[in-house]
Amino acid sequence: MHIDIFTLFPSMFVGPFGESIVKRAQEANLASIAIHDIRDWAPGKHHQCDDTPYGGGGGMVMKPEPVFYAVEAVLGMGPGDPPPCPIILLTPQGERFTQQTARELSCHERLALVCGRYEGIDERVREHLIAREISIGDYVLSGGEPAAIVVVDAVIRLLPGALGDPSATFDDSHASGLLEYPHYTRPAAFRGWAVPEILLSGHHANLSRWRREASLYRTWLRRPDLLQAANLSEADRAFLRRLETDPVREGSPDRQDP
C-alpha cells in the first residue's frame, strides 16, 4: 500500500512513522508513506497557504490552490480528472473513524490523506477534490495531522504481514465488535495479585470460553452500546442474560459499579 499525506507541517510525522510497526511495515515494503508539504505548491513569492474568510469572522482558512495543485501533481491528475485513489480529508466534521473504516481503507492499494488546518479548508476542496471526510472523534484538534497518524497506524497494522503473528489482530478490541479480554504475563503472582487460575491450567476449551466471557463482560460493563451490533452466539446471549440477573463475575479483574 502507498499512502500520500498532504500537510502544512511535514515534520509532525517524522517521529510517529519512524517507530514500531509503521516503521517495520515500511522497511518490509508492505507500505510506503510519502509526506508532501502543501506549501511547496503555493503560488507567489510568500507561498501563502491561508487567508481570511470571506464574509468575515475570526481565524484563517486554507486556500484552495495549494491543496489542488499539490494533490493533482502528486497523484498525476489534470484538473477535474478522476483520482487514482480515494482522497480523504481529516476533519472533525467527517464520519467517525472506526475499526470497520480501518479495514475498508486497508483494502486499497493507495490512499491520499489531506490534513486540514486553521479554522478550516476552502469548501471547494471538499466539493471538488475530496472523496471522503474522516474524524477520529468528537473533539477538535489543531489540525488533521494527529488524525492522519492515527488512521495510518490503524490501517497499516491490518496489512497482511505487518504484525509478527498473523492472528494478532483477530482478538483486538473492536475487531469482532467487542472489547478484548484482559491479558496477563509472568510472574504468576505479583505483590500477592495472582493471575486467574484458568490461564495457567492449559485447558484450551475452558480458556477460550473464559476469554470470550471476559470479553463479553468487559464490553457489557464499559461499552454496552457495542453489544447491539456484535456477532453473538446463543451461548454468548445466554451469558449476557445471566449477567442481567447476576452481574458479579467471580475472579474477574473488572469491577462492577456499585
With respect to ligand ADE, which residue has the nearer C-beta, 121 or 162?
A: 121
Question: Which residues, at least 6 apart from 204, have a Cβ–Cβ distance to it below 8 Å?
Answer: none
Q: Which stretch binds ligand ADE (CB under 6 A): 119-127, 140-148, 167-175, 248-256?
A: 140-148
C-beta separation of 203 from 246 below 8 A: no
By annotation, the residues acting in catalysis are 92, 119, 157, 172
Q: Does 141 bind ligand ADE (CB under 6 A)?
A: yes
Q: Does 88 bind ligand ADE (CB under 6 A)?
A: no
With respect to ligand ADE, which residue has the nearer C-beta, 17 or 210?
A: 17
For residue 189, give the 3-state DSSP assignment. strand
Q: Does 112 bind ligand ADE (CB under 6 A)?
A: no
Rounded Cα–Cα distance for residues 184 and 46 (Å): 56
Q: Does 139 bind ligand ADE (CB under 6 A)?
A: yes
Q: Which stretch binds ligand ADE (CB under 6 A): 73-81, 138-146, 176-184, 242-250?
A: 138-146
Q: Which stretch binds ligand ADE (CB under 6 A): 76-84, 133-141, 202-210, 222-230?
A: 133-141
List the one residue out of 175, 56, 154 whose CA is nearest residue 102: 154
Q: Which stretch binds ligand ADE (CB under 6 A): 130-138, 153-161, 193-201, 205-213?
A: 130-138
Q: Which residue is nearest to ligand ADE (CB)?
A: 147
Place of cell 456484535: 230
Q: Does 7 bind ligand ADE (CB under 6 A)?
A: no
* Radius of gyration, alpha carbons of the chain: 23
Q: Cβ of residue 35: shortest distance to ligand ADE, in angstroms? A: 17
Q: Does 91 bind ligand ADE (CB under 6 A)?
A: yes
Q: Cβ of residue 101: shortest distance to ligand ADE, in angstroms? A: 12
With respect to ligand ADE, which residue has the nearer C-beta, 140 or 205?
A: 140
Residues in region 147-186 near ligand ADE by CB under 6 A: 147
CA angle 26, 28, 30 (to 5 degrees): 65
Question: Which residues, at least 6 apart from 110, have a Cβ–Cβ distance to it below 8 Å?
Answer: 1, 2, 3, 4, 84, 85
| Residue 6 CA from chain centroid, whole number | 18
Q: Cβ of residue 92: shortest distance to ligand ADE, in angstroms? A: 4
List the one residue out of 86, 77, 43 whose CA is nearest residue 63: 43
Neighbours of 44 (CB within 10 A): 8
C-beta separation of 115 from 152 below 8 A: no
Residues that bind ligand ADE (CB under 6 A): 90-92, 116, 135-137, 139-141, 143-144, 147
